[in-house]
């Protein structure tokens, strides 16, 4: 079968293939292990890939470049409107060729994808990677995509992170993953050998955007320092807030306690988790919080926002939650863990056992089963296990 993936994610064309944001690239490789031919309709730049990307290492994947649009200004919105006819034509041209269509939302191309795809295929599947129950201040196009995906217009499964009781049957709770079975074996070994550091280390892994509230973590570290409690931090990732966060760390007097690694390759993430004791992800909104799942697998005590799937991840004694943006609550939570780490031993073991069930291999087979059942197809329509296209 030929699969078309409609995605707003920016891809990069290099001499050795296509690159994209690392977690996304690893997931695309799973789709390429299920379909003989995969075309991605997405923006594509002919430039050096950023450090937080990795190569999509499958020979049966190509990118059909789509116009890159977006932005909050009036000029940007006008540009989107003017580009709409060409974007529609380009997307239709690719949909004609596909046997199955996978639309990834939310995003500018996602809007067109969910509206157009039902005209061209009966084999449809969508992924909504954002916070499915919405959040204050979101754009109307984002809520529009959810309404269309919930409606009878979308005749295929919609995988979401946190289904609501009132959602129709074709909306299904799903999971994501970044770690392979081998990496999870490493995580299990790390959990059993982990010992608390003399000076505890708290990690953050993700994009350095304002919504992630990394500044709140820095302020909490500074508050604990003023109380005589030493806590080191490691901030993994890159983004628009990088320079301002570095400046804030200096201003707060904790620059010597906080390491900013910048974007690192996904295979280096376990190195960071093995040397850390805690992870904080207290952002304003999240879909599937990968960094929390990964940290849980490595036996870290995780502190996350009291919202969405984070609440479910860390419920039942698997972690701690705080109000996003609340420096006092986060400081209190960190103080408790740092002051008595032995009291959280059961918590981290319970978290590790739960998170280690989510592997890339399990995700691939869950997708295969979902599509075969929803599309009333036998498994022979997909690539057989172990028959994945050769790596580039």
DSSP string covering 206-241, please? S---GGG-HHHHHHHHHHHHHTT---EEEEE--STT
User: Six-digit token pair at 350?
Assistant: 């319970």
- Name the more confident of 71 and 222: 222
Work out the pLDDT band at 385, boundaries 50, 70, 90: low
Q: What mean pLDDT is predicted for residues 82-104?
A: 94
Q: Closest by alpha carbon to 211, among 103, 317, 325?
A: 325
> Distance between CA 78 and CA 74 in Å, rounded?
6
Collapsing DSSP states into helix, strand and coil, what is residue 141?
Answer: helix
- pLDDT of 176 strictly over 80: no
Instruction: Give the max Cα distance, the chain.
Output: 65
Q: What mean pLDDT is predicted for residues 159-170?
A: 89
What pLDDT does residue 8 have?
94
Q: Cα angle at 321 between 316 and 322, to 5 degrees?
A: 155
What pLDDT does residue 194 have?
83
What pLDDT does residue 81 have?
75
Collapsing DSSP states into helix, strand and coil, what is residue 54?
Answer: strand
What pLDDT does residue 386 have?
53
Cβ atoms of residues 148 and 115 within 8 Å: yes
Name residues whose C-beta falls within 8 Å of residue 161's C-beta, 6 or more positions apart in sequence: 128, 129, 131, 132, 173, 174, 175, 176, 287, 288, 308, 309
What pLDDT does residue 221 have?
98
Q: Which CATH number is 181-355 given?
A: 3.40.50.2000
User: Six-digit token pair at 86?
Assistant: 């060409």
> Distance between CA 310 and CA 298 in Å, rounded?
17
Q: Is the dihedral of CA 310, 160, 60, 7 positive or negative?
A: negative
What pLDDT does residue 327 have?
97
What pLDDT does residue 201 have?
97
Helix, strand, coil tally for the chain in percent (to 5): 40, 20, 40
List, for residues 330-366, the tens digit of each pLDDT value: 999 999 999 998 899 999 999 998 888 777 788 888 8
What pLDDT does residue 136 have?
74
Q: What percent of the chain has pLDDT over 90?
A: 65
> Distance between CA 156 and CA 272 in Å, rounded?
39
Q: What mean pLDDT is predicted for residues 42-60?
A: 91
What pLDDT does residue 69 have?
78
What pLDDT does residue 282 have?
92
User: Six-digit token pair at 218?
Assistant: 């820095």
> Distance between CA 24 and CA 54 in Å, rounded?
9
Q: What mean pLDDT is predicted for residues 22-36?
A: 91
Collapsing DSSP states into helix, strand and coil, what is residue 18?
Answer: strand
Q: What mean pLDDT is predicted for residues 264-287?
A: 89
What pLDDT does residue 391 have?
53
What pLDDT does residue 329 have?
97
- pLDDT of 195 strictly over 90: no
* Domain range summary for the chain, segments of one domain joined by +: 2-177+359-381, 181-355
Are 2-177+359-381 and 181-355 the same fold in CATH?
Answer: yes
> Distance between CA 271 and CA 266 in Å, rounded?
10
CA distances from 387 to 202, 343, 379, 382, 391 (A): 41, 47, 13, 10, 12
- Name the more confident of 179 and 194: 194
List, for residues 198-257, the tens digit of each pLDDT value: 899 999 999 899 999 999 999 999 999 999 999 999 999 998 999 999 999 999 999 999
Q: Which CATH class is domain 2-177+359-381?
A: alpha beta
Q: What mean pLDDT is predicted for residues 56-63?
A: 95
Name residues whose C-beta falls within 8 Å of residue 175's C-beta, 6 or more positions apart in sequence: 161, 288, 358, 363, 366
């Amino acid at each position: 079968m030929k699969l078309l993936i409609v995605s707003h994610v920016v891809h990069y064309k290099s001499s050795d293939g296509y690159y994209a944001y690392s977690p996304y690239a690893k997931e695309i490789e799973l789709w390429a292990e299920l379909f003989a031919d995969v075309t991605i309709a997405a923006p594509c730049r002919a430039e050096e890939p950023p450090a937080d990307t990795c190569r999509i290492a499958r020979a049966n994947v190509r990118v059909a470049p789509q116009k890159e649009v977006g932005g909050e200004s009036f000029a940007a919105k006008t540009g989107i409107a003017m580009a709409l006819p060409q974007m529609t034509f380009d997307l239709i041209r690719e949909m004609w060729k596909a046997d199955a269509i996978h639309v990834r939302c939310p995003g500018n191309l996602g809007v067109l994808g969910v509206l157009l795809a039902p005209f061209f295929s009966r084999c449809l599947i969508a992924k909504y990677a954002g916070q499915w129950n919405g959040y204050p201040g979101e754009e109307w196009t984002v809520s529009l995509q959810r309404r269309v995906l919930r409606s009878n217009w979308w005749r295929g499964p919609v995988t979401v992170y946190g289904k609501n009781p009132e959602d129709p049957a074709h909306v299904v709770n799903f999971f994501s993953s970044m770690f392979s079975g081998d990496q999870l074996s490493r995580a299990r070994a790390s959990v059993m050998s982990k010992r608390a550091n003399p000076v505890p280390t708290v990690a953050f892994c993700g994009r350095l955007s304002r919504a992630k509230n990394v500044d709140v973590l820095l302020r909490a570290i500074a508050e604990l320092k003023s109380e005589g409690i030493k806590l080191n931090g490691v901030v993994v990732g890159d983004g628009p807030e990088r320079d301002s966060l570095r400046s804030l760390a200096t201003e707060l007097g904790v620059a010597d306690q906080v390491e900013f690694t910048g974007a690192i390759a996904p295979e280096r993430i376990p190195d960071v988790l093995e040397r850390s004791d805690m992870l904080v992800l207290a952002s304003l909104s999240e879909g599937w919080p990968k960094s929390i799942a990964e940290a849980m697998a490595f036996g870290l005590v995780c502190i996350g926002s009291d919202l969405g799937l984070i609440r479910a991840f860390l419920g039942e004694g698997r972690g701690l939650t705080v109000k996003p943006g609340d420096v006092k609550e986060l400081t209190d939570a960190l103080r408790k863990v740092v002051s008595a780490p032995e009291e959280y031993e059961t918590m981290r073991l319970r978290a590790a056992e739960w998170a280690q069930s989510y592997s890339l291999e399990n995700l691939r087979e869950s997708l295969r089963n979902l599509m075969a059942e929803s599309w009333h197809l036998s498994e022979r329509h997909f690539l057989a296990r172990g028959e994945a296209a050769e790596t580039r």
